[in-house]
């Protein structure tokens, strides 16, 4: 059984769910396989901040007991899931990759975490991330950088780099991530897995440690489109604990995967295929689009004329919200406090925040405080909000003509560790194709569409608000066609 067990961690969640239901394997065997892979590869990849081995095996045994009893058992039961370390987990450390929360243990679960645990998932640990989600490489964490499983000298992407690397390497079957400007889609592309950012409001943000509240969204990372749909079924839904949670009906996302693509209109934004995009990535994305077109979908050229303003608008709005959200970490209520020689409250704030926050977080707090300050609010923050409205308007117009939009996820392949750490602007430009979706609140998914020099390339599918079914449908069709070599 050991030879089979060692390979269970490389299976998709849907495949494992089927095997569990047929009695071919146990949840304990899957969990053993995952932790064996963690033991083998975690030292080199560094996908986790915390692993929860003891808890995981207890949850796996409970899942096996449910299967023995029979009855209606959720698909997620017995499937190992990793959770990004920005989501509160009751009794388990939640650090946000920051020294200021290095010893913080929440007293409650985030709604998304509670939902997966209620569905019988096996929690294998908390994944590494850029500090407070502020980064594109998972290099700014107190736990050290996460490495790309495809090439250990390259970044895994960020800020959900630990979640993407864990799924890619078989250190978890599924993972929860968060996406503020591409933080699920970009690492998914870099690590060769599938990741979905739902519509803003589709998944409750209760228990998510906020970075930029109007942009943050929790989503799923899996090996396949079906895996993401399975997770989305569990984590979606209205939550009265989150005032931004949308009170809309949650469909069965798995049903959408069975529908064809005949007659679907795919928008190709000319603005996303201009200067700065690696020509090899462009070729892979167009090959994927051509495959779908050959099998019944149609291509419609579209324009998103305000896209060039997306990066600027995003980094003004996100930093402004971060400045406000991170004010709570002052050393008074919880988290790290500088216990050095201090004479008054202001000095304690200053020393705590200086020592507790990393360079990138400090940079964004200062930028955000500046753009919100008197005399600059209108010139920067207000103007960024106006640009945001124009960017959303572009998408609204485009979706009058198309059903989904196809773009690259990143302009470049995974780059070397440390390559962009000294140049924040170059780092920010890595998110050029992803941030506009967060500004507009739209759903988007990254899925693998080939490799270049053994490095993964991601295809991004963008949908209308609350039309995750469309992007899952198109993504599943592409997976089937690519696998069949059509």
Which residues are identified as catalytic? 84, 159, 183
Cα 472 to Cα 254: distance, rounded to the nearest angstrom: 8
Structure tokens at 206: 């209760």
How far, in Å, are 103, 219, 348, 352, 381 from residue 340 at the CA level? 18, 40, 8, 9, 36
Nearest Cα neighbor of 464 from 427, 429, 437 is 437
Measure the CA–CA gap between 179 and 175, rounded to whole angstroms.
Answer: 13
| Residue 36 C-alpha from the chain's centroid | 25
Q: Is 8 helix (H, G, I), strand (E, B) or coil?
A: helix
Q: Is the peptide bond before 345 cis (omega within 30 degrees of 0)?
A: no
What's the token pair of residue 138? 């998972």
Distance CA 416, CA 240 (A): 43
Question: 205, 217 in Cβ contact below 8 A?
Answer: yes
How far apart (Å, rounded) are the C-alpha atoms in residues 63 and 409?
36
Helix (H, G, I), strand (E, B) or coil at 443: coil
Rounded distance between C-alpha atoms, residue 11 and residue 19, angstroms: 10
Give the C-alpha separation, 15 to 35, whole Å.
19
Pairwise CA distance, residues 243 & 128, whole Å: 28
> Please, what is the end-to-end C-alpha distance for the chain in angstroms?
36
The per-residue DSSP string of 217-248 comes to EEEEEESSHHHHHHHHHHHBS--TT-TT----
Q: What's CA 404's distance to the chain center, in Å?
A: 20
Contact by Cβ (8 Å): 410, 433: yes
């Amino acid at each position: 059984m050991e030879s089979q067990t060692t390979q269970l961690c490389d299976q998709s969640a849907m495949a494992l769910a089927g095997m569990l239901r047929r009695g071919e394997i146990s949840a304990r065997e899957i969990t053993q396989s995952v932790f064996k892979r963690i033991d083998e590869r975690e030292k080199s990849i560094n996908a986790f901040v915390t692993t929860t081995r003891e808890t995981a095996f207890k949850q796996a045994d409970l899942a096996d007991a449910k299967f023995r009893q029979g009855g209606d058992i959720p698909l997620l039961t017995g499937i190992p899931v990793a959770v990004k370390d920005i989501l509160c987990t009751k009794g388990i450390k939640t650090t946000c990759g920051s020294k200021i929360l290095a010893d913080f243990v929440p007293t409650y679960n985030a709604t998304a975490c509670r939902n997966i645990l209620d569905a019988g998932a096996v929690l294998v640990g908390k994944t590494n991330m850029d500090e407070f989600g502020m980064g594109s490489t998972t290099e700014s964490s107190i736990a050290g950088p996460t490495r790309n499983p495809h090439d250990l000298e390259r970044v895994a992407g960020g800020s959900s780099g630990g979640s993407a690397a864990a799924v890619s390497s078989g250190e978890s079957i599924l993972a929860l991530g968060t996406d503020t400007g591409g933080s699920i889609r970009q690492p998914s592309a870099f690590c060769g897995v599938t990741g979905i950012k739902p519509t803003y409001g589709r998944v409750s943000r209760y228990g998510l440690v906020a970075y930029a509240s109007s942009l943050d969204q929790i989503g799923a990372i899996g090996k396949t489109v079906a895996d993401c749909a399975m997770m989305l079924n569990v984590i979606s839904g209205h939550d009265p604990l989150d005032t931004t949670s949308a009170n809309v009906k949650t469909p069965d996302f798995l049903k959408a995967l069975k529908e064809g693509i005949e007659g679907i209109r795919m928008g190709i934004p000319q603005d996303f295929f201009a200067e700065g995009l690696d020509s090899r990535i462009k070729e892979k994305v167009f090959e994927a689009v051509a495959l779908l077109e050959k099998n019944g979908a149609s291509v419609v050229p579209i324009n998103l004329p305000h896209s060039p303003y997306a990066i600027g608008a995003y980094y003004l709005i996100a930093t402004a919200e971060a400045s406000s959200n991170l004010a709570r970490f002052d050393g008074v209520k919880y988290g790290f406090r500088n216990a050095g020689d201090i004479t008054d409250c202001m000095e304690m704030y200053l020393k705590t925040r200086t020592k507790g926050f990393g360079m990138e977080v400090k940079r964004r707090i200062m930028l955000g405080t500046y753009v919100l300050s008197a005399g600059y609010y209108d010139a920067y923050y207000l103007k960024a909000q106006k640009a945001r409205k124009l960017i959303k308007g572009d998408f609204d117009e485009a979706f009058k003509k198309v059903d989904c939009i196809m773009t690259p996820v990143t302009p470049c392949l995974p780059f070397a560790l440390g390559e962009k750490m000294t140049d924040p602007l170059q780092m920010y430009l890595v998110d050029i194709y992803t941030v506009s979706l967060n500004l507009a609140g739209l759903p988007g998914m990254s899925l693998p569409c080939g490799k270049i020099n053994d490095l993964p390339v991601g295809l991004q599918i963008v949908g209308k608000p609350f039309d995750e079914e469309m992007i899952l449908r198109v993504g599943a069709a592409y997976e089937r066609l690519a696998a069949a070599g059509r």
